[in-house]
Amino acid sequence: MESIVITGAGGMVGHALAEAIQRRGQTATAQDRARCDLAHSADIERLFSEHRPTLLFNCAAHTKVDLCEDEPEKADAINGHAVGRLAQLAREHGTYLVHYSTDFVFDGKSAQPYRPNDAVNPISAYGRSKLLGETELQRNAPEKWLIIRTAWVYGRHGVCFPRIMVERAKGGHALKVVSDEIGSPTFTDDLADATLALVDRGATGMVHVTNSGSVNRYDFARAAVEEFGVQAHVSPITTAEWLQIRPKQARRPAYSVLDCSAYEKLTGKRMRPWREALRAYRQSVDSAGGF
């Protein structure tokens, strides 16, 4: 009998994944941080002893990028070492382990989309902790494992970039947004569906998944307020200028577009363009009664 477990079920990706599984008529055991805190090894042990997962989606992470700069040990514990322990127990229990990683493992110096086997070089504490998780998982790898790197994730269940931009615009704030960081925004609903498509095919190894196309953060902010029909003054600013305003912020890759061709070959599907996904996000927010 299949036992599907989601860690980090209280977050954006975990919520979307649980909903996608439910739409299929299946049931997943949702473990939020209150039920399973990856910072506590006893919680990880209990997760396996009580639920004996055959399929485990690890959506748990310390995702506050700027805070990770002040809490690198905590970030390494949750995003790194805990993932290694999950992998060890998954190996012992014959669990198919699916783990999410990030574009932040790259330094942003590429001129073309990053492939899964391209050299990594994180430039932030968050990126280093997520790379540690990738390394620990592969060092303790179960028979079946999948790492999905994604980027610029947003969704209904949590605070995210489009929501922040729209709410600040609604509050009458002028928005200054960096224009020299380029990536691929990814809607959690699409990421969840893509994850299940990969699992259906028994995919293993490292795979990149984002919505298709790319955009800079300034134009992404403009698209978000436009999509939600909010009047706003949005002005571009360079990363260097922004760091003068917020000097304690983590460094982010200037270019972190991911090459998703492996996903397309494995599934025969292509992720929809980021702007279409943003529209779907707005529609889902509206149908839920707003933020």
Q: Which positions ≥6 away from 23 have C-beta within 8 Å? A: none
Q: Residue 97: what residue type? A: L
Could you give the dihedral angle defined by the CA atoms of residues 99, 20, 165 and 182, in that order, rounded to the nearest 10 degrees?
50
Would you call 225 helix, strand, or coil by DSSP? helix
User: For the chain, what percentages of helix, strand and coil (3-state, to nearest 5) are there?
Assistant: 45, 15, 40
Would you call 59 helix, strand, or coil by DSSP? coil
Alpha helix ranges (H) inside the chain: 12-23, 41-51, 65-70, 72-75, 82-93, 125-139, 161-170, 188-200, 217-227, 239-245, 261-267, 274-287
The per-residue b/e assignment along 74-111, b for 16 or more CB within 10 angstroms, e otherwise, is ebbbbbbbbbbbbbbbbbebebbbbbbbbbbbbbbebe
Would you call 118 helix, strand, or coil by DSSP? coil
Q: Which positions ≥6 away from 272 have C-beta within 8 Å? A: 190, 211, 212
- CA-to-CA distance for 267 and 28, rounded, in angstroms? 23
* Active centre residues (catalytic): 126
CB 106 within 8 A of CB 114: yes
How far, in Å, are 26, 46, 54, 110 from residue 3 at the CA level? 10, 15, 5, 40
